[in-house]
Amino acid sequence: MRVRVEQTALPGIGVRHDLLTESGRRLGVVSHRNGRRDLVLYDPDDPDSCQHDIPLTDDEAEALADILGASLMLGQLTGLREQAAGLLTEQIAIPAGSKYVNRRLGDTKARTRTSASIVAVLRGGEVIASPGPTFRFSAGDVVVVVGTRKGLDGVTAILADSDPDG
């Protein structure tokens, strides 16, 4: 399953990152300007209504990120997104069946084909910032991509491709 993380600026508050789970539940993290983070679970009957809001200390957020094998890197990209209208960031998981598992980032030609850039790779709780064209992907890597909606969708399609001849 490809997971799409949506980032929304919250003027005067900070940034919210949301995702829809395979089971249909929507959850998110609100990163406040003052550094506070809230884990939010939305009402299944009204996806715009928050059912649970769990404030997290820095230590709790870090522990949760470690448990989930994720990174707080998108928070660092918030300033970049605000500077460029129409520019989005997204985390895209590389499925085990992708033809790019064990292949080089340069083999994807993602930037040339989509005008979107892979700016980092999250692997096993570590962040590989600015991976070069010789970087080799592994199944389960999560790439952080910056670009337009069309570009992000293009990178998602490229990485999901399982046809070795395609």
Instruction: Give the model's pLDDT for residue 81.
Output: 52
Q: Which residues contact 81 (CB under 8 A, 6 or more apart)?
A: 7, 9, 87, 88, 89
Which burial class, exposed, middle or buried, applies to 130 when counting CB atoms under 10 A from its CB (0-12, 13-18, 19+)?
A: exposed
145 or 87, greater pLDDT: 145
pLDDT tens string 119-152? 999 998 888 888 989 999 999 899 999 888 899 9
Across the range 96-122, mean pLDDT stands at 92
Please, are residues 161 and 99 in contact by the beta-carbon 8 Å criterion?
yes
Nearest one of 160, 125, 113 to 4, comparing CA atoms: 160
Q: Quote the CATH superfamily of domain 88-160.
A: Regulator of K+ conductance, C-terminal domain (3.30.70.1450)
Instruction: Give the model's pLDDT for residue 78.
Output: 54
- DSSP secondary structure letters along 80-110: HHHHSTT-EEEEEE--TT-TTBTSBHHHH-H
pLDDT tens string 31-85? 888 888 899 998 888 877 888 999 998 888 777 776 665 444 555 455 555 556 6
CA dist list (Å): 93 to 115, 131, 157: 19, 15, 11
Please, are residues 117 and 145 in contact by the beta-carbon 8 Å criterion?
yes
Across the range 98-126, mean pLDDT stands at 92
Instruction: Give the model's pLDDT for residue 105.
Output: 94
